[in-house]
């Protein structure tokens, strides 16, 4: 339990930017983060249009997954912590509008980059855009962030290990 309390304390009053939060693992992680760390200030969530759905529609759909049901009954207004950032990790500048980029630049203290393309049957060029170039664009944004304390990159992780991993990452944040 000590590791979890370190994480809770480390995330308290922090502003998070999460990429990949609309994916399968990302949704579960987002629900877990809100459950374990309800005192985060804000979570900015990068969402792109996909399959004829707008980012706003996709954000609404995210909260319909069963992993959010316990949150809905325990904390009905949890969605107020989530702010939509429209963008796309496969595009230059993450395709984030200038005004949203400025908000992120000024406010974000923790950047959790979980976006990745795990389609193993696509061309190397597309996979490179989705994974390698996206990381370059993330790093460019990180360089602009004035309050950033930590960047965490996890393209695929096992949630059973997240407590230990984050504990290691955040152990020096409070000092």
Is 124 exposed, middle or buried, given 0-12, 13-18 or 19+ CB atoms closer than 10 A?
exposed
pLDDT one digit per residue (tens) for the chain, 175 residues = 576 788 889 899 999 999 999 988 889 889 999 999 999 999 999 999 998 999 999 999 999 999 999 999 999 999 999 999 999 998 999 999 999 999 999 999 999 998 877 777 888 888 787 788 889 999 999 999 999 999 988 755 444 444 444 444 444 444 4
CB contact at 8 A, 107 and 147: yes
Provide the pLDDT for residue 8: 87
In a 13 Å sphere around the CA of 111, the CA atoms on its Cβ side amount to 24
CB contact at 8 A, 145 and 112: no
Kindly state which CATH superfamily the domain 2-170 is placed in: NAD(P)-binding Rossmann-like Domain (3.40.50.720)
Structure tokens at 56: 């706003």
């Amino acid at each position: 339990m000590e590791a979890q309390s370190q994480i809770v304390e480390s995330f308290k009053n922090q502003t998070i930017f999460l990429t990949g939060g609309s994916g399968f693992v990302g949704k579960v992680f987002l629900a877990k983060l809100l459950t374990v760390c309800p005192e985060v200030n804000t979570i900015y969530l990068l969402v792109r249009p996909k399959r004829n759905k707008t980012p706003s529609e996709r954000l609404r759909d995210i909260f319909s997954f069963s992993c959010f049901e316990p949150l809905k009954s325990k904390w009905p207004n949890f969605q107020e912590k989530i702010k939509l950032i429209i963008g796309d990790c496969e595009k230059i500048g993450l395709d984030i509008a200038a005004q949203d980029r400025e908000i992120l630049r000024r406010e974000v203290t923790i950047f959790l980059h979980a976006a990745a393309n795990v389609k193993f049957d696509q061309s190397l060029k597309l996979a490179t855009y989705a994974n390698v170039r996206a990381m370059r664009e993330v790093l460019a944004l990180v360089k602009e962030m004035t309050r950033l304390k930590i960047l965490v990159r996890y393209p695929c992780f096992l949630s059973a290990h997240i407590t230990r991993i984050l504990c290691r990452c955040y152990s020096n944040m409070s000092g």
